[in-house]
Amino acid sequence: MNVPIESGISIKDLNKKFTIDKKQVSILENINIDIKQGEFVSIIGSSGCGKSTLLRIIAGLDNDYEGTAEMDGQKILKPSLKRGVVFQEHRLFPWLTVSENISFGLKNKSRDEKKDIVKQHLELVGLNGFEKAYPGQLSGGMSQRVSIARALANDPEVLLMDEPFGALDALTRIQMQEECLKIWNKKNLTIIFVTHDIDEAIYLGDKIVIISQRPGKVKKIVPIDVGRPRDRNSHDFSEIRKLIYKEFFSNQKEVFNYTI
């Protein structure tokens, strides 16, 4: 009998240690997360709790851990074109044009195919006309758009985004969140989105995974049962915001002066 293959990402009993100053330090402990194909999952947690480490494991960039990380029932052992990554800071090659940056990772494609893919993705991220520009001639938001286009050019099934909008101003950030949702819909992607920003996590995600301080553990998984487009001022949104603030700051009321 054929065993059905689960589609999506599954992290089971994951433990990750790093050697710091000759000592083994536990970074992630007993992480269990299931992400369905097509789901948009936000991950939040304080700095240093292991969010990027977790994303690197899912990307296949780190396989030195205990437990399992699987995609569609297959162990993740190395990077794959099925999983695109947008890193915390854009990592564009400054000496290549926007087009060359986007087409850099495309393998086994003819010149014309590459040209088509670049054109299609420039359009998708709203950068028509900038194909010949160099990264040094772009704003922060535009550079992140190029990073997203590059990650999408290989047509991944899963997009891993590590605080992609962290360096952007508030207005550009909101605009990029909209673009991100549009792309998610259009491409039928699974997105795993790491952020420090609680409102961003609520606005985007189908669910939010809250990671505790080091060693990072899954503190809570909060489903966001609010239809899109979401209103940041709505009652439902505020209730989820309150719940998440409570998770983070319930012991520190007086410091943060936030009504919970």
Ligand X SMILES: Nc1ncnc2c1ncn2[C@@H]1O[C@H](COP(=O)(O)OP(=O)(O)OP(=O)(O)O)[C@@H](O)[C@H]1O
Give the nearer residue to ligand X in terms of CB position, either 130 or 248.
248
Q: How far is the CB of 255 from Mg ion (least distance, A)?
A: 23
Judged by CB under 5 A, does residue 52 bind Mg ion? yes
Give the nearer residue to ligand X in terms of CB position, either 49 or 152.
49
Q: What is the DSSP letter of 7?
A: P
Helix-strand-coil split of the chain, %, nearest 5: 35, 25, 40
The answer to whether residues 160 and 59 touch, using CB atoms and an 8 Å cutoff, is yes
The answer to whether residues 33 and 52 touch, using CB atoms and an 8 Å cutoff, is no
List the beta bridge partners of residue 42.
193, 208
Q: How far is the CB of 216 from ligand X (least distance, A)?
A: 7
List the beta bridge partners of residue 210.
44, 220
SS3 assignment, position 42: strand
List the beta bridge partners of residue 40.
191
Give the nearer residue to Mg ion in terms of CB position, either 10 or 52.
52
Q: How far is the CB of 197 from Mg ion (least distance, A)?
A: 13
Binding to Mg ion, residues 30-49 (CB under 5 A): none
Structure tokens at 94: 């400054």
Among the candidate windows 52-60, 119-127, 130-138, 209-217, which touches Mg ion by CB under 5 A? 52-60
Give the nearer residue to ligand X in terms of CB position, either 64 or 254.
64
Residues that bind ligand X (CB under 6 A): 18, 20, 27, 45, 47-53
Judged by CB under 5 A, does residue 195 bind Mg ion? no
Q: How far is the CB of 56 from ligand X (least distance, A)?
A: 8
Give the nearer residue to Mg ion in terms of CB position, either 98 or 163.
163
What's the first-to-final CA gap in the chain, in angstroms? 53
The answer to whether residues 159 and 191 touch, using CB atoms and an 8 Å cutoff, is yes
Q: How far is the CB of 45 from Mg ion (least distance, A)?
A: 9
Q: How far is the CB of 41 from ligand X (least distance, A)?
A: 15
Distance CA 2, CA 201 (A): 38
SS3 assignment, position 99: helix
30 contact choice in ligand X, Mg ion, none (CB below 5 to 8 Å, kind-dependent): none
48 contact choice in ligand X, Mg ion, none (CB below 5 to 8 Å, kind-dependent): ligand X
Q: Kindly state the number of chain residues that form the binding site for Mg ion, as judged by CB under 5 A.
A: 1
Structure tokens at 201: 């996590």
Q: How far is the CB of 53 from ligand X (least distance, A)?
A: 3
Alpha helices in the chain (DSSP H): 51-59, 98-103, 111-124, 140-153, 170-187, 198-204, 235-249, 253-256
218 contact choice in ligand X, Mg ion, none (CB below 5 to 8 Å, kind-dependent): none
Residues at the contact surface with Mg ion, assessed by CB under 5 A: 52
